Structure 1
Amino acid sequence: MMGELIETARQLDERKEPYVWVTVVRRVRPSSATVGDKALVTANGELMGFVGGHCTRDLVVDQAKKCLITGESSLLLVTAHPPTQRMEGVTVLPMTCASEGTVELFLEPRHVEPVLLIVGNSPIAHALAELAPRFAFVPHRISLEASMDSGSAEEPVGKLRHQMGFRPGQTVYAVVATMGLYDVEAVMAAASIPLRYLGLVTSPRRWQAMHAELVEAGASNRLLEFVSAPAGLDIGAQGPQEIALSILAQIVERRRRGTGMAWDGKPVPGAEVKEHADASMRPHATAVNESESAERNREAPHEVIDPVCGMTVDLSKTPHRLEWNGTEYGFCCAGCRQRFARDPERYLSHA
């Protein structure tokens, strides 16, 4: 049995999949476990090995799952005779077996460093990626800018999701720091996976305006309530580094205090094609096929005027583009693109 456990642990180590080693460190008769017995609990709750009878299995699995969330080792005391005084650093649970034995176990999680998903190419996004490892987070930054040269005509939400690639059972915290460029798409992409936190770098006024855009994209009230916006604790932060620090402080608070808040990651039906559907509402308004228009972009002026808000944007860099009646238009954000797609003539009549 021990050889099988070691081989299973080796395979999980190679794949860097999270699991928990459980070791019996003390027992009081008539417990069926002996000191040194070991078990392994996987991220999906499967227990392999032996550390006690059926009365303790569910307790061990539940405690192991908590270790995978917190990333911290723990001592678990299962006894029919709990101590009268609290034991610091020890979780005490009742022994339900008729034998009324006692067993104390050490639970050690492996490969449980949580992932910090960072969406965006802004200075704050880069500051978060730089600071995250100092707080035991593994940074994983994605952006639409990273897929600009792929030639793919896929919608923004799909492009972002394809850059994730997380393993089942990984603990993920997410921050959207696109600075208004594609906030809605970033939130919807992040919401397609299970999360412990989802923060949005924005202002309170901009967040209020985004509510309607997110609802239109398919966001539920529960998702809107789950998003922390503006992201970060109010510490008077200035500049990308301090703002990143305030966000990480909020994430650490969420992690260590164990509020239990979580997003289940159920994708919103049709979220990936929502933007395309908006564009197709008009018979002549279609999303730009990036591979077909790349050659035209090289000869076209790079700076164009967003017909909705009047902002100057770089057509070769903005991810928000749309072709209508043979002309390619560039936009500062997804909101302007969606408004134009619904009624192009309204905005072009004022050009």
Structure 2
Amino acid sequence: MISGGGLPLPVHAMNTLQNEIRLLEEHREPYAVVTVVRRVRPSSSTVGDKAVVTSDGRIFGFVGGQCTHGLVTDQARQCLETGQSQLLLITPRPPAEAEEGVTVLPMTCQSEGEVELFIEPKLPDPLLLVIGDFPIALALEELAPKFGWFPRRLALEQNQANGSDPLERLKRGVSEVCEPDMYAMVATMGLYDGDSLRMLRDYPLAYAGLVTSPKRWRSQREELIRTGVSAEFCDFVDAPAGHDIGAVGPQEIALSIFAQMIERRRRQTDVRYFPPSGTSTSETVAGGTVSTSTGLGTGIDPVCGMRVDLDNTAYRTEHDGKTVGFCCPHCLSKFQQDPEAYAITR
């Protein structure tokens, strides 16, 4: 962790922070930038101090001591879930009514300093997987960055030189690039539409589309259902893909498809998951995450109200048959002194 010790971060520390950001962006990992915008002594931070918080709770930089550290990490992770920026006030004297747009949390450290921070989530552009090697597929790949998508294109035609089965290589390629909030567009012009859609049904998708005609899609849909693909998945696929704007040529057709995807992106935030045959029914996954966690999960620190990872926190106790987690030793100590004074929430 980069520590500023309450002083402005030196140049080498800021460079290190920028390097961390660069690595996170290269790996397409979401992160939040936290900036101190106001502080009241004896807070150890300084206005302008910065930190970066990752979705798994790692923090780089310095915005305050241990109590601030835990609260900031929790709030930053919530911002990454919602995609919304947040103004956070941590104070030993919370007002009876918070100002509009400000989240207020109690400062539980004995120093009783006060700090106000701005948390800005930085989310990678959603992945657009394009399958196909025809002009429309190429146009989709070319235009994707202009509309806020990160494109990856795969095609059987790219695998002709290798001696192994092209379909197996394509399937492996899809599994290697897939992401939980993936958008997918099949544009093979009928050559391997069905194979491509069967590959995609096993992944959480924000959108799936097929470049086709209404007549061809009716036939393709019947074939997919006959071979075990659920009608629910077929209904999820936008086919023919794109809004009817009278598009002519690959670029305009691609534009009509992006219009449809933008509409889906702005009006729908859930990701759909269609499990393979024989498993439970499809589920809607809020925020693009399929949860398979079976541990203790998260709980609420009853002293300060912070969300705590019960599986990983070092500060944990049992009370009335429940596991209670804490963000720091100070909160744990206060609880142990008078457990009945705090309502426990799991």
Q: Structure 1 length normalisation: TM-score?
A: 0.59
The DSSP-based 3-state class of the residue aligned with 2:146 is helix
1:120 shift after superposition: 1.2
**Aligned partners of 1:226 and 1:97: how far apart in 2?**
45
Worse overlay, 144-153 or 215-224: 215-224
Q: Name the structure 1 match of 2:117.
A: 104
Contact 1:33/1:103, CA 8 A, preserved across alignment: no
Contact 1:203/1:230, CA 8 A, preserved across alignment: yes
From 112, 120, 131, the equivalent of 1:119 is 131
The DSSP-based 3-state class of the residue aligned with 2:160 is helix
Residues 174 and 180 (structure 1 numbering): CA distance in 2 closer, same or farther, change over 3 Å?
A: same
The DSSP-based 3-state class of the residue aligned with 1:150 is coil
Q: Name the structure 1 match of 2:328.
A: none
Residues 119 and 233 (structure 1 numbering): CA distance in 2 closer, same or farther, change over 3 Å?
A: same
**Aligned partners of 2:239 and 2:247: how far apart in 1?**
15
Q: Name the structure 2 match of 1:199.
A: 209
Q: Name the structure 1 match of 2:325.
A: none
The DSSP-based 3-state class of the residue aligned with 1:181 is coil
Please state if 1:132 is matched with 2:132: no
1:248 shift after superposition: 1.3
Q: Name the structure 2 match of 1:76.
A: 86
Residues 234 and 11 (structure 1 numbering): CA distance in 2 closer, same or farther, change over 3 Å?
A: closer
The DSSP-based 3-state class of the residue aligned with 2:106 is coil
Q: Name the structure 2 match of 1:177.
A: 187
Q: Name the structure 2 match of 1:141.
A: 153
Alpha carbon RMSD of aligned pairs, Å? Answer: 3.7
The DSSP-based 3-state class of the residue aligned with 2:53 is strand
Residues 237 and 26 (structure 1 numbering): CA distance in 2 closer, same or farther, change over 3 Å?
A: same
Q: Name the structure 2 match of 1:228.
A: 238
Aligned length: 252
Residues 219 and 36 (structure 1 numbering): CA distance in 2 closer, same or farther, change over 3 Å?
A: farther
Measured against aligned partners, the alpha-carbon deviations of 1:262-287 in whole angstroms (never above 9, x if no partner) come to 134756689xxxxxxxxxxxxxxxxx
1:212 shift after superposition: 2.8
Residues 143 and 76 (structure 1 numbering): CA distance in 2 closer, same or farther, change over 3 Å?
A: same
From 250, 258, 270, the equivalent of 1:261 is 270
1:23 shift after superposition: 1.8
Residues 205 and 172 (structure 1 numbering): CA distance in 2 closer, same or farther, change over 3 Å?
A: same
Q: Name the structure 1 match of 2:80.
A: 64
**Aligned partners of 1:228 and 1:168: how far apart in 2?**
19
**Aligned partners of 2:245 and 2:27: how far apart in 1?**
36
Percentage of pairs with the same residue:
36
Measured against aligned partners, the alpha-carbon deviations of 1:236-258 in whole angstroms (never above 9, x if no partner) come to 21222111101112222333x15
Q: Name the structure 2 match of 1:318.
A: none
Q: Name the structure 1 match of 2:57.
A: 46
1:48 shift after superposition: 1.9
What amino acid is aligned across from residue 262 of structure 1 in structure 2? V
1:261 shift after superposition: 2.8
Is there any run of 5+ residues in structure 1 with no aligned partner, and where? 68-73, 85-91, 271-351
Contact 2:57/2:73, CA 8 A, preserved across alignment: no
Contact 1:133/1:139, CA 8 A, preserved across alignment: yes
Contact 1:117/1:173, CA 8 A, preserved across alignment: yes
Is there any run of 5+ residues in structure 2 with no aligned partner, and where? 3-12, 90-94, 280-346
1:169 shift after superposition: 5.3
1:11 shift after superposition: 7.8
Residues 264 and 31 (structure 1 numbering): CA distance in 2 closer, same or farther, change over 3 Å?
A: farther
1:78 shift after superposition: 3.0
Residues 242 and 17 (structure 1 numbering): CA distance in 2 closer, same or farther, change over 3 Å?
A: closer
Measured against aligned partners, the alpha-carbon deviations of 1:110-168 in whole angstroms (never above 9, x if no partner) come to 7x2333211112221122122223223332221122223322246x2x33222346467
**Aligned partners of 1:161 and 1:183: how far apart in 2?**
13
Contact 1:129/1:139, CA 8 A, preserved across alignment: yes
Contact 1:115/1:172, CA 8 A, preserved across alignment: yes
Residues 31 and 139 (structure 1 numbering): CA distance in 2 closer, same or farther, change over 3 Å?
A: farther
The DSSP-based 3-state class of the residue aligned with 1:149 is coil
**Aligned partners of 2:200 and 2:159: how far apart in 1?**
16
The DSSP-based 3-state class of the residue aligned with 1:121 is coil
Residues 108 and 235 (structure 1 numbering): CA distance in 2 closer, same or farther, change over 3 Å?
A: same
